[in-house]
Structures are given as structure tokens and as C-alpha cells.
Amino acid sequence: MSAATRPIGVFDSGIGGLSVLQALQSALPHEHFVYWADSGHAPYGEKGDVFVRQRSLAIAQHLIDQHHIKALVVACNTATAAAIHELRTQYPQLPLIGVEPALKPAIALSRTQRIGVIGTRGTLGSDKFHRLLSSLEGQAEFIVQPCNGLALAIEESTHIAASASSEKITALLRGYTGQMGAFGHGPGQIDTLVLGCTHYPFISDLLRVHTGPNVHYIDTGAPVARQTRRLLNAAGTLNTSTELGDLQLFTTGDLDSF
């Protein structure tokens, strides 16, 4: 198999990274993808760095050994914060793309300069995130809200009744957005919300109930897809086929719900 026709590996603690995969497939339709949902070990956000790092390294090794991936997208903010450094050290030759809360694009978009950031405790408590925040000090006010339990509730929505799941998610969102202050476009209001967890784009409709319809939501799918293209291009391994690529999906959790 030539380097260009090998697949791109994508992983997350569960279904969240599918929001990134959508953007990847639409930007790179001729690439083959292997998606790995580590749902059997989700959620990552409340498990601590050592565990998340160990899972990330094990998944990367598996994707390299069994699927001969040519690049790896860490489609999880929590795993990126905990493990991207070790992954880069361990696999210096492998193009690696991580995701982090998109604070800079939020500054460019916000008019009130009051920006909400939601994500897991792991991501928002990480040194990596704190370094990013400090590098932007003075450019906007960031209202940072860890959302314990939210990624898990979204993950569980694949196997519990829709009404029970949306009730649970709504209760969590009401609590968390309530603590952040007023949303809107008036002075002092949060007009831009960074979705700092790849699970959250799937609940944007439920989130709108609490933030109102006009707040900007920022996720990382499209920039990650652009960065993946850049790295493949630089490595000379973009798939130049004109056929649509394949997708293989794997989960460490329950196959039916996935």
C-alpha cells in the first residue's frame, strides 16, 4: 500500500470526534479514515491525565500497527491536552493533529469581548489550556466553565430514550450556562461561545435554548481539517485518487449503541 492510500486515524473518547470526522470527510473526501471511539473508557474528562495519556498512546499504537495510518487526528480536546506532547515524542515521524478550544477565532468574532468557553474539567484545568489563556490575556474576557457530566450524558444518549437523555442534558446545560452570566449581544453579555469539547456540537440545539439564537458557537472541525490537509500536503501523502474514500468505525464500547 503506498503512503498516500493509507488511512488517517481519528480517535476520541467516544462519539464526540465524529463531529470532527464530518469536517475531515467533507474537506478530504478522497481520504480513507479509521475512526476509533473509546466509549468503553469514556468519559475522559473526569479520569485524570495519566489515564487519558495511557489510553491515547495505546490507541495510537494500535492504529499504527493494525491500520498502518499515515496521520493521526486526536479529535478530543481532553486527550490533546493530556497526551499530544507524549504522542509527538513517541511518534516523531507521524503527522499529528490535535484540537484545542478555539479562543483566537472567538476573539476575532466577538464584539462584546466577553467569550464563554465550555469543555471538560480535564481540558479546562490543563496546563496547556492555561498557557493558551495567558497568551491571550487582555484581548478579551473569558468565562471558563467546566461541564462535568455533560460529555457522558451525550455519550449515553446513544443508548437511552431520547426524552430522558434530552431532559438530563437540558438540566446540566441550565445549571452551567446559568453560572456563566447573561448571553446576548448587549454590552457585558457573552456573544460568543467556544465549544471546547468535540461532543458538544451534537447538542447545539439544546444549548440554544439557554444562550438564545444569536450567540456565535465556535467548534474546531473545519480548522482541524485544514491543518490535516496542510500536514499531508507537506508530507507528500495526500490521496490523489478521484474515488471517494472508505470509512471504518471501531468502538471499545457497545457496538449497537455506537
Q: Which of 119, 122, 113 is closest to 51 using CA atoms?
A: 122
By C-beta, is 56 or 239 nearer to ligand DGL?
56
Q: Are 150 and 199 in contact, with CB atoms under 8 Å apart? A: yes
Q: Are 148 and 46 in contact, with CB atoms under 8 Å apart? A: yes
Using CB under 6 A as the binding criterion, the count of chain residues that bind ligand DGL stands at: 16
Residue 197 designated active-site: yes
CB of 71 to ligand DGL, least distance (A): 19
Which residue among 15, 18, 59, 76 is the active-site one? 76
Q: Which of residues 198-227 bind ligand DGL (CB under 6 A)?
A: 198-199
Which residue among 37, 99, 197, 225 is the active-site one? 197
Q: How far apart are CA 144 and CA 35, in angstroms?
A: 30
Residue 147 designated active-site: no
Q: Which of 205, 200, 196 is closest to 142 using CA atoms?
A: 196
Q: How far apart are CA 217 and CA 206, in angstroms?
A: 13
Q: Which amino acid is at 224?
A: V
By C-beta, is 147 or 238 nearer to ligand DGL?
147
Q: Are 52 and 111 in contact, with CB atoms under 8 Å apart? A: no
Q: Which of residues 157-196 bind ligand DGL (CB under 6 A)?
A: none
Q: Which of residues 33-92 bind ligand DGL (CB under 6 A)?
A: 42-45, 76-78
Catalytic residue ranges:
76, 197
Binding residues for ligand DGL, per CB under 6 A?
12-13, 16, 42-45, 76-78, 120, 123, 151, 197-199
